[in-house]
Amino acid sequence: MIKHKLTKGYDVKLAGKTDKFRSPAERSQFYALQPPDFPGIKPKLEVEVGTIVKIGTPLFIDKQNADIKFVAPASGVVSGITRGERRSIQEIIIKTDDRDEYEEFTSYDAKKIENATREELIKEMLSGGIWPYIRQRPFSRIADATAQPRDIFIVGMDTAPLAPDYKMLLDGQEDYFALGLKILARLTEGKLFLSVDGSAEERPKAFENLEGVEVHTFAGPHPVGNPSVFMHHVKPINVGEIVWYIYAAHVALIGKFFQYGKFPIERLIAVAGSSIREGIRKYYDVRLGLPIQALVNEGALSDENVRYISGNVFSGRKLYENGFMGFYDNLLTVIPESTQRDFFGWLTPGLKDESFSRTFLSRFFRSDEYVKDTRMHGGKRAFIQTGDYEKLMPMDILPSHLVKAIMAEEIEDMIGLGLLEVDEEDFALCSYICPSKIDFGDYIRQGLEILEKEG
């Protein structure tokens, strides 16, 4: 086990932590799969309204790679297809019949996995809809099944605000996780790396006595738990190389899929945020693609106007009241939605307002948690280099220089400054503290898309 202790970064201490209690959520009548959860995919529908589907029936495929299938999270009938701008597909909604009929795939035990070829395993994962859980760097897209990754990184920690506890997520999943590791080991000629929270009081039992995996513990402030930081400090990506990465909870899903030959729909979702009442903030056993109304309702809210986020406040996706949880997310965050301006707010001492800089007295009288709303506290201004961005980046990357290279579309500078190693989420803290209100993540995605088009 190799230990890493990083100092750069910043922990945003949001109020509304999830209690470590677990209970079943209400069964919903509707479930959905959402193509926007898969960046870079151009969906082609395989169903229409009225089509009868089973769990595991393909709902759409990728136009650019028809082998990648995205399958139904419930059995029943397709009741709606929601479209957005330029008729882009936003949701495929299924009205469940409660019979839970499954498409059957081949089941595997450990011995059968050892005898199977890499191509056979990949083909099974593609047809069963489980392949999208594996993503690749650079560009953070669904992994190219025809490529040979240098290594595979398994992310076993999360340091984002109000992130779910991995011990809770993997409780009871030990056998599935071990089987998933055996499958991943067959997909690369390189190494398997696993990141573990070095500051956690208790670690998942699934991480004990592992074979064929190089374990690295990371301790420090956010974003120490991000995949990019993990890769950068273990084995950085060089130009021309491809690595795959996957979250530990999804490794267990792969193992479960192969053991039973059925697309796994069971999930554990943490509900968190200051706008959720106590007693509701806990872990729920749910099904993939459930509506957030099955987790929270008006009686569960402590604020009148709220924002629902599938995921964390830095990299999650905004949802409406009738929205559905995302494909990759194990967290629902609910915080106050506000547009109100504080009268002479810049003159207040700010004892209850978090401050990274020394703007407020809270910098010297720190609290364990803060209630934060959706306000930006100012408009866009000229791009000011303060030197603070570098304090938040636990990698050898200069955020302001990289963003300026992207603005100027200087491809060689983008690559030289480390763009191929990062993703939008790695710059969320820079956007959070930025006095110029620059959306760093938006520029990072623009840069990655430029590099992707250039090949």
pLDDT tops 80 at residue 188: yes
- Give the integer Cα–Cα distance in Å for 443 and 406: 7
Place of tokens 């999208």: 132
pLDDT tops 90 at residue 364: no
The per-residue pLDDT for 454 is 87
Burial of 24 (0-12, 13-18, 19+ CB in 10 A): exposed
In the chain, where are the structural domains located?
Answer: 2-10+105-260, 30-96, 377-454
The CATH code for residues 2-10+105-260 is 3.40.50
First CA to last CA across the chain, in angstroms? 37
- Give the integer Cα–Cα distance in Å for 152 and 150: 7
The per-residue pLDDT for 385 is 78
Lowest mean pLDDT among 66-75, 183-192, 346-355, 428-437: 346-355
Query: Is the Cβ–Cβ distance between 395 and 418 less than 8 Å?
Result: yes
Burial of 167 (0-12, 13-18, 19+ CB in 10 A): middle
Convert the pLDDT of each residue in 257-306 to its tens digit: 999 999 999 999 999 999 999 999 999 999 999 999 999 987 899 998 99
Report, as an integer, the average pLDDT of 111-125.
95
Convert the pLDDT of each residue in 86-107 to its tens digit: 899 999 999 999 899 999 999 9
The per-residue pLDDT for 343 is 61
Compute the residue count for the chain: 455
Report, as an integer, the average pLDDT of 411-418.
96
- Give the integer Cα–Cα distance in Å for 400 and 289: 37
Q: Give the count of alpha carbons within 13 A of 293, CB side only.
A: 8
pTM of the full structure: 0.95
Query: Is the Cβ–Cβ distance between 149 and 136 less than 8 Å?
Result: yes
| SS3 call for 228 | helix
User: Which candidate, 50, 72, 76, 46, places its Cα nearest to that of 60?
Assistant: 46
Which residues are bridge partners to 219 per DSSP?
A: 5
Report, as an integer, the average pLDDT of 324-341.
92
Convert the pLDDT of each residue in 380-401 to its tens digit: 777 877 889 999 999 999 999 9
- CA dist 56 → 53, 126, 323, 400, 410 (Å): 8, 11, 22, 44, 44
Average pLDDT, the chain: 93
pLDDT tops 70 at residue 349: no
Convert the pLDDT of each residue in 199-218 to its tens digit: 988 999 999 999 999 999 99
What secondary structure letter does DSSP report for 102? B
- CA dist 261 → 52, 107, 185, 201 (Å): 21, 4, 19, 35
Q: Give the count of alpha carbons within 13 A of 308, CB side only.
A: 21
Report, as an integer, the average pLDDT of 169-187.
97
- Give the integer Cα–Cα distance in Å for 248 and 372: 29
Higher pLDDT, 49 or 378: 49
pLDDT tops 80 at residue 348: no
pLDDT tops 80 at residue 139: yes
Convert the pLDDT of each residue in 223-271 to its tens digit: 999 999 999 999 999 999 999 999 999 999 999 999 999 999 999 999 9
The per-residue pLDDT for 376 is 79
Convert the pLDDT of each residue in 423-454 to its tens digit: 999 999 999 999 888 999 999 999 999 999 98
The per-residue pLDDT for 9 is 96
pLDDT tops 90 at residue 68: yes
CATH topology of domain 30-96: OB fold (Dihydrolipoamide Acetyltransferase, E2P) (2.40.50)
CA dihedral of 18, 21, 26, 31, whole degrees rounded to 10:
50
Amino acid at 260: Y
Report, as an integer, the average pLDDT of 52-72.
97
